[in-house]
Structure 1
Amino acid sequence: MDGIEVVVFDVLGTLVDETSGLRAEIRAAASGSDVDALVAAWQRHVEREQQRIARGDRAYANSEVIDAEAARQVADRAGRTDPAVIFRLATASQRLPAWPDSAAGLELLAQRFPVVGLSNASRAALLRLNAHAGLRWHLALSAEAASAYKPAAEVYRLAIDSAACPPERILMVAAHSWDLRGAQAQGMRTTYVHRPVGDSPTSADTFDGHFDDLADLAASLAS
């Protein structure tokens, strides 16, 4: 992959284990409940509300607002009413664990490239998540700045404008093919990194690279 000047990473799911982190927080808040069903309900709510915003059926609300809604739904289904428990659950996405290769992979890449995080998480949530997971960036961008969610074009424009170079010199890295397709539509280069929970490429996808971990990606970009 010649000609890359800046590397941009998705965060949720790509650098942190969103599903396992949510499961642990929900289990702590709602022990004795069907945790997997509650995790699925949370994720459905987030996806549905982001899609409603994308369609114009709902005014933009940041990830903290949508997570708080999901937390209240989960608490109601689990019969939990303690405000402190619900508040902690609402901030679960700020305490997600990093994948084992994330911190070291970012460090390797940062030795040769400006490294940017581009996340649907709100500014405040992204700040706390980065600190909790040990993620270090040259720049971390929240989709909140565009009042939209990926894969909306204006979110990728945040990264392109910040990089101040042609989009074909910017590499978007994600474990979600839908995210890479969105970046690709804006002219960015794309690389899929495999995670146990992600959106795998289809036979129709034409990404620039496919890697099992960030060390392999860093080695490829160094060669």
Structure 2
Amino acid sequence: MARPVLVFDVNETLLDIRTLEPLFARWFDDAGAMRRWFAQMVLYSQSLTLAGRYLPFGSIASDVLGMLAAIEDRALPQGAASDLKAASTQLPAHGDVEEGLASLLEQGFRLVTLTNSDSDTQAEQLSNAGIARFFEAQFSVDSVEQFKPATATYRHVATSLQVDISRLAMIACHSWDLLGAAAAGMQPVFIRREGNSQPGFASAGVREVDRIGELAALDW
């Protein structure tokens, strides 16, 4: 059977969002606030899709930061949202990413991305992380104005590549992303990243790897 096209989530799967923690430690006296912010950002992006509305991910990120500060009775410094946006475009790749992607390309895999970030932000993120060159295409949910795990986001990738969706494999460290990908007909693969795990109800039929380079050894 032909190898699938590998579709990579970007934020946290390829790029290390833990580098944002010092900002949250400064603003909230708690580096763990970064995880609370990220979880709420994902929640509200999905809520907007269910409600039939769309805002760019960066706008949601800024508003959720303000919401979290209000909930936790914190006064954000002037320019906090801009500082967060700038830092979000400077996320480094995880240590296994560059070598793993290079190996996959050498072995003949096709590689693309699919992210909740808008197209311009994604391009800046991947370029700054030094990994843009590995991907033949970069897909964003802004093309369909629905956030993952909406089915339309995954189908858009298949349609654009002119590949049957069953020949796409979604690589992500978020089970909510893989649930949507599997429901759309993609092959789901969970990559373990610090701060993430799979709930039992989401793990059936999902293969797992620890590093990007291990994807080549899966029985496709």
Answer whether TM exceeds 0.5 for this pair. Answer: yes
Partner of 2:169: 171
Q: Gapped runs of 5+ residues in structure 1?
A: none
The answer as to 2:113 corresponding to 1:113 is no
Q: Does 1:67 align with 2:61?
A: yes
Identity %: 27
Q: Which residue is equivalent to 1:25?
A: 23
**Residues 49-198 of structure 1 aligned to structure 2 (within 5 Å):** 49-56=44-51, 59-73=53-67, 77-83=73-79, 85-111=80-106, 112-136=108-132, 137-198=135-196
| 1:11 aligned partner, one-letter code | V
* Structure 1 residue 213, shift from structure 2 partner: 0.9
Q: Does the Cα contact within 8 Å between 2:24 and 2:31 map onto a contact in 1?
A: no
Relative distance call for 1:162 and 1:113 in structure 2 (3 A) is farther
SS of aligned partner of 1:36: coil
Comparing 116-125 and 71-80, the one that deviates more: 71-80
Task: Show CA shifts across 1:27-78 (max 9, x none).
Answer: 4x53xx422353244224313321321221x620011111221344466654
Structure 1 runs of 4+ aligned residues shifted over 4 Å read: 73-77
For residues 75 and 15 of structure 1, what CA distance do their matches in structure 2 show?
28
Partners of 2:77 and 2:66 lie apart in 1 by: 9
| Number of equivalences | 215
> Which runs of 5 or more structure 2 residues have no equivalent in the other structure?
none
How far 1:208 moved relative to its partner? 5.1
Give the corresponding residue for 1:214: 212
Query: Does residue 38 in structure 1 map to residue 33 in structure 2?
Result: yes
C-alpha separation in 1, matches of 2:203 and 2:36: 29
Tell me how far apart the structure 2 counterparts of residues 140 and 201 of structure 1 sit (CA, whole Å).
Answer: 29
Work out the CA distance in 1 between the residues paired with 2:83 and 2:201.
Answer: 41
CA 174–81 in structure 1, closer or farther in 2 if over 3 Å, else same = closer
Task: Name the CA distance, whole Å, in 1 between partners of 2:15 and 2:111.
Answer: 16
How far the C-alpha of 1:158 sits from its partner, in A, is 1.7
Q: CA RMSD in A?
A: 2.4
* 1-structure distance, mates of 2:199, 2:65: 31
Native 8 Å contact 1:54 1:149 kept in 2: yes
Contact 1:105 1:218 (C-alpha < 8 Å) held by counterparts = no
Q: Which amino acid aligns with 1:129?
A: Q
Q: Deviations over 1:106-159 (max 9, x none)?
A: 122123122010001111211111122222311111111110110000100121
